[in-house]
Amino acid sequence: MRVLVTGGAGYIGSHTVRELRRLGHDITIVDRFITGHRAALLADCVEADIGDEESIARVCREGGIEGAIHFAAFCAAGESVIDPGKYFRNNVQGTIGLMNGLTAAGVKHVVLSSSSAVYGTQEEVPIGEDAPKNPESPYGESKLMCERLLPWYETAGGPNWVALRYFNASGASSDASLGDDARPATRALPVALEVALGKRPEFSLFGDDYPTVDGTCIRDYVHVEDLAHAHVLALDYLAGGGASDVLNVGSGRGFSNRELIDAVKRLTGVDFRVVIHPRRAGDPVVTQADIAKIRRVLGWAPEHDLDAMVRTAWEWRRRNPDGYPE
């Protein structure tokens, strides 16, 4: 299939481009290199904003694009609380421009990067797709708003769609050529690896008095290569006549922050300092996915465990201590 990938220079986008190429798809990337990196580009890239609907429509028409995977967005939940406008403008307004362009060009399918941030704190875990939506940040709200746009475009003759709600994307490519180079790192695993590398003096752990096994928050980590594969399956599903839907993508397992830290210490061989801070606003206590639906609908299952995520991320980080070359 000829596929447009927005945000293909970013962390998850670059791994997905690699997986699409491996499976014989033709790819055009649209990226502005705001948080992404030229060194992570694995296909032709048009440097444009996703909100520029005329450019999007032109690129799609000229390239005979049949399907799109839409990663481009800002995704630091903490920053979004301080600067909501930045997130609503780029994520929601940008997606409106993109959807206008895709619809005008007759693109048939779209897969949207959504997030477990649409759920917020839940009474019941694991979290199924029908759980109430309580986003605790403008970032989570922006993702929910993007999801809610899609059926309206489909009704008006736009693409059919799958929204994938990722839990915590982690790890790096198995050959250590691609990895997570968010600057600054905000996700727990890359931050812990920077501490292990000596780039930060200590790991700040926010809250050890939660009602969990060891008092720390619990998260569901999914390997970025498993996540990349889910996108290809979602496109195949839509191309095969599958109905538009929302699917969780996680491992279905929860690990406490302490378990993550222990895994990083064990697999890097570095015993670093961990400093406990008070709880941080907006941190859900437990996020753990119910993945029964994606197993059933796409036949997808995670293949990598937490150790594989830590090991691959560490290998990438050790080879690229300062991130991608610019």
Ligand X SMILES: NC(=O)c1ccc[n+]([C@@H]2O[C@H](COP(=O)([O-])OP(=O)(O)OC[C@H]3O[C@@H](n4cnc5c(N)ncnc54)[C@H](O)[C@@H]3O)[C@@H](O)[C@H]2O)c1
Q: Does 90 bind ligand X (CB under 6 A)?
A: yes
CA distances, 9 to each of 12, 139, 155, 192, 310 (Å): 9, 20, 31, 24, 22
Region from 5-13, 56-64, 155-163, 316-324 binding ligand X, contact rule CB under 6 A: 5-13
User: Binding mask 168-187 vs ligand X (x if CB under 6 A, - otherwise)?
Assistant: xx------------x-----
CB atoms inside a 10 Å sphere around CB 34: 12
Q: Does 250 bind ligand X (CB under 6 A)?
A: no
Smallest gap from Cβ 188 to ligand X, in A, equals: 10
Quick one: 77 or 261, whose CB is closer to ligand X? 77
Residue 94 in tokens:
């940008």
Q: Does 138 bind ligand X (CB under 6 A)?
A: no
Among positions 94, 101, 126, 135, the unique one binding ligand X when judged by CB under 6 A: 94
Smallest gap from Cβ 145 to ligand X, in A, equals: 12
Smallest gap from Cβ 146 to ligand X, in A, equals: 9
| Active site annotation includes 221 | no
Q: Does 12 bind ligand X (CB under 6 A)?
A: yes
Quick one: 115 or 216, whose CB is closer to ligand X? 115
Q: Does 34 bind ligand X (CB under 6 A)?
A: yes
Quick one: 231 or 311, whose CB is closer to ligand X? 231
CA distances, 48 to each of 14, 59, 257 (Å): 17, 10, 38
What pairs with residue 255 in β-bridges?
Answer: 219
Among positions 80, 115, 173, 287, the unique one binding ligand X when judged by CB under 6 A: 115
Give the integer Cα–Cα distance in Å for 9 and 32: 9
Please provide the distance, in angstroms rounded to a whole number, between the alpha carbons at the two ends of the chain. 31
Q: Which listed residue (87, 119, 139, 221) is catalytic? A: 139
Q: Does 166 bind ligand X (CB under 6 A)?
A: yes
Which DSSP string do the residues of 230-298 spell out, in sequence order? HHHHHHHHHHTTPPPEEEEES-S--EEHHHHHHHHHHHH-----EEEE---TT--SB--B--HHHHHHH
What pairs with residue 30 in β-bridges?
Answer: 6, 46
Q: Does 33 bind ligand X (CB under 6 A)?
A: yes
Q: Does 9 bind ligand X (CB under 6 A)?
A: yes
Quick one: 137 or 268, whose CB is closer to ligand X? 137
Which DSSP string do the residues of 303-321 spell out, in sequence order? ---HHHHHHHHHHHHHH-T
Give the integer Cα–Cα distance in Å for 307 and 160: 36
CA dihedral 233, 239, 243, 247 (to 10 degrees): 20
Among positions 17, 20, 28, 71, the unique one binding ligand X when judged by CB under 6 A: 71
Residue reference for tokens 């048939």: 108
Region from 7-15, 19-27, 195-203, 270-278 binding ligand X, contact rule CB under 6 A: 7-15
Q: Does 276 bind ligand X (CB under 6 A)?
A: no
Q: Does 113 bind ligand X (CB under 6 A)?
A: yes
Helix-strand-coil split of the chain, %, nearest 5:
40, 20, 40
Cα Rg of the chain (Å, integer)? 19
Q: Is 186 helix (H, G, I), strand (E, B) or coil?
A: coil
Residue 174 in tokens:
């198995």
Q: Does 10 bind ligand X (CB under 6 A)?
A: yes
Region from 29-37, 102-110, 154-162, 305-313 binding ligand X, contact rule CB under 6 A: 29-37
Catalytic residues: 139
* Footprint on this chain of ligand X (rule: CB under 6 A): 7, 9-13, 30-36, 49-51, 71-73, 75, 90, 94, 113, 115, 166, 168-169, 182
